[in-house]
């Protein structure tokens, strides 16, 4: 999908925007390398993975979902657990799902509810982020803004 490549390029070029979204200190980016991984077997492709330099930091699995998909959560969790099945990593992990707005969700969450309630997985809705947020968050918001409104959230203001 077109937004996947936009976010991939954004996170590859400006990884600080991801950690700004999570409201983590700016220096957090220094401990991670961003990539997109293909998990073998069923050819699942993770939109993005922030792999830490050490075992004390979590792996961040990033999925950008801009269209309705009834099987989204089953695919998302399958990708993560298949990655761990094939990986030697012992790091903890977090899932980050980026939606343009809450209305995009139509995949049943009930069987995965514990992941959301525990904070292991979080959804971020670009249209609901605070206007006072960091430069990185403002750049992310530009992706869902209509052209006439882009000046109102310009990162340069």
Question: Could you report the per-residue pLDDT of 33-71, keeping only the tens digit for each?
Answer: 898 876 555 666 788 999 999 999 999 999 999 999 888
Total domains in the fold of the chain: 1
Asked whether residue 155 is domain-assigned, the answer is: no
Asked whether residue 75 is domain-assigned, the answer is: yes
Percent of the chain with pLDDT over 90: 41
Averaged pLDDT of the chain = 84
Asked whether residue 61 is domain-assigned, the answer is: yes
Query: What's the pLDDT score for residue 51?
Result: 94
Residue 50: give the domain boundaries.
1-146
Query: What's the pLDDT score for residue 97?
Result: 95
> Is the pLDDT confidence value at 156 over 60?
no
Asked whether residue 151 is domain-assigned, the answer is: no
The span from the CA of 119 to the CA of 134, in Å, is 22
Asked whether residue 81 is domain-assigned, the answer is: yes
Contact residues for 126 (Cβ-Cβ < 8 A; gap 6+): 98, 99, 100, 101, 140, 141, 143, 144
Where would I find the H helices in the chain? 2-13, 16-21, 72-86, 113-117, 135-142
Q: For position 115, which CATH number holds?
A: 3.40.1350
Asked whether residue 32 is domain-assigned, the answer is: yes
Asked whether residue 154 is domain-assigned, the answer is: no
Asked whether residue 12 is domain-assigned, the answer is: yes
């Amino acid at each position: 999908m077109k937004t996947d490549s936009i976010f991939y390029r954004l996170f590859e070029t400006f990884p600080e925007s991801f950690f700004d979204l999570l409201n983590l200190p700016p220096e957090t980016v220094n401990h991670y390398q961003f990539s997109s991984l293909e998990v073998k077997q069923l050819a699942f492709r993770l939109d993005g993975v922030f792999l830490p330099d050490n075992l004390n930091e979590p792996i961040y699995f990033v999925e950008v979902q801009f269209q309705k998909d009834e099987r989204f959560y089953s695919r998302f969790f399958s990708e993560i657990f298949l990655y761990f099945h094939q990986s030697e990593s012992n790091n903890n992990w977090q899932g980050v799902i980026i939606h343009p707005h809450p209305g995009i969700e139509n995949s049943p969450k009930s069987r995965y509810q514990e992941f959301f309630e525990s904070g292991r997985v979080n959804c971020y809705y670009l249209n609901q982020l605070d206007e006072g947020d960091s430069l990185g968050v403002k750049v992310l918001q530009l992706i869902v803004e209509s052209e006439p409104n882009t000046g109102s959230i310009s990162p340069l203001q």
